[in-house]
A and B are shown apart, each in its own frame.
Chain A
Amino acid sequence: SAVISQKPSRDICQRGTSLTIQCQVDSQVTMMFWYRQQPGQSLTLIATANQGSEATYESGFVIDKFPISRPNLTFSTLTVSNMSPEDSSIYLCSVDNTGTGTSEQYFGPGTRLTVT
C-alpha cells in the first residue's frame, strides 16, 4: 500500500492569508486527489492532480482559490488562498493504486486548518 505524508499536520491561520499544504507519496502514482472535510461532514473532492497537466477542479472549486501543483509523480501541493473562516476544514490528499490492479485509494493523514 502507498504511504502518504502531509505537511503541515495542522495550522491556525489568519483570514486573508494563504497556506500551502504538501503531499508526499512513497511511490510513483498517476493520480493524486485533494479532498476537503468540513467539521462533522463527509469528504468532498476538490480537484484531481495529474503530473504534467493542469489540475481538474470539481464544481464549486476554482483554481484561483485552490491552486494545485503536481511537479512529479510523488508530490503535490494544494494552496488555500485568501482564507476565510469558512475554509476551516481538514484537507486530505489521496492516491489511486489502480496501476497495481488493486483499485485501492489511500488517504494521507490530513491537514487540519483553522482560520481565525
Chain B
Amino acid sequence: ELKVEQNPLFLSMQEGKNYTIYCNYSTTSDRLYWYRQDPGKSLESLFVLLSNGAVKQEGRLMASLDTKARLSTLHITAAVHDLSATYFCAVGYYNTDKLIFGTGTRLQVFP
C-alpha cells in the first residue's frame, strides 16, 4: 500500500527566510505532484515531477524528486506573505491514475 508522509505539518516562518518541505512515499511511483490550497479554496497545481532528478522552479518555489530515496522536496526561497497556504504533495500509484495525498503542510509567513 502506498503511504505518503509530509513534514512538517505546520510551518511558521519569517518573511525573507528559506525553508524546505519534505514528502516521503513508501512504494514505487512514476509521478509526484505539489499542490497549493488557500483557505476555502480548491487545489492549485504547482508542479508535476515525472523522473528521477527532476527539478522545477516557479518564482520562490522549487521542487525536486529523488525516486531512489522516494523523496520529494519543496524549497521556499525568501518567503513572502503571499506564500501562506497549505501545500500538499500527492504521489501517483504506479501504473494507475490514482493519487495518494500527503498530510499537507500549513505554511504561515509573518513579517
Cβ–Cβ contact B101 & A104, under 8 A: no
Cβ–Cβ contact A105 & B33, under 8 A: yes
Find chain A residues with CB under 8 A from B90 CB: 43, 105
Q: Determine which residue in B43, B48, B50, B101 has the highest number of CB atoms from chain A within 10 A of its CB, and name it.
A: B43
Find chain A residues with CB under 8 A from B97 CB: 31, 33, 48, 96, 98
- Of the candidates B40, B45, B92, B102, the one whose C-beta lies within 8 Å of that of A42 is B102
Determine the main DSSP class of A at the interface with B: strand
Q: Does B68 contact A (CB under 8 A)?
A: no
Q: Does A103 contact B (CB under 8 A)?
A: yes
Say which one of A65-73, A81-89, A107-115 lies at the interface with B.
A107-115
Q: Does B80 contact A (CB under 8 A)?
A: no
Find chain A residues with CB under 8 A from B102 CB: 42
- Of the candidates B31, B40, B43, B92, the one whose C-beta lies within 8 Å of that of A107 is B43
Cβ–Cβ contact B88 & A43, under 8 A: yes
Contact with A along B34-49 (1 / 0, CB 8 A): 0100001111010010
Q: Does A102 contact B (CB under 8 A)?
A: yes
Cβ–Cβ contact A42 & B101, under 8 A: yes
Cβ–Cβ contact B45 & A104, under 8 A: yes
Interface residues of B (CB under 8 A from A): 31, 33, 35, 40-43, 45, 48, 50, 88, 90, 92, 97-104
Instruction: Known A-B contacts: A98-B97, A102-B48, A105-B99. Give 9 more (CB < 8 A).
Output: A45-B99, A94-B99, A104-B48, A105-B33, A105-B90, A107-B43, A107-B45, A110-B41, A110-B42
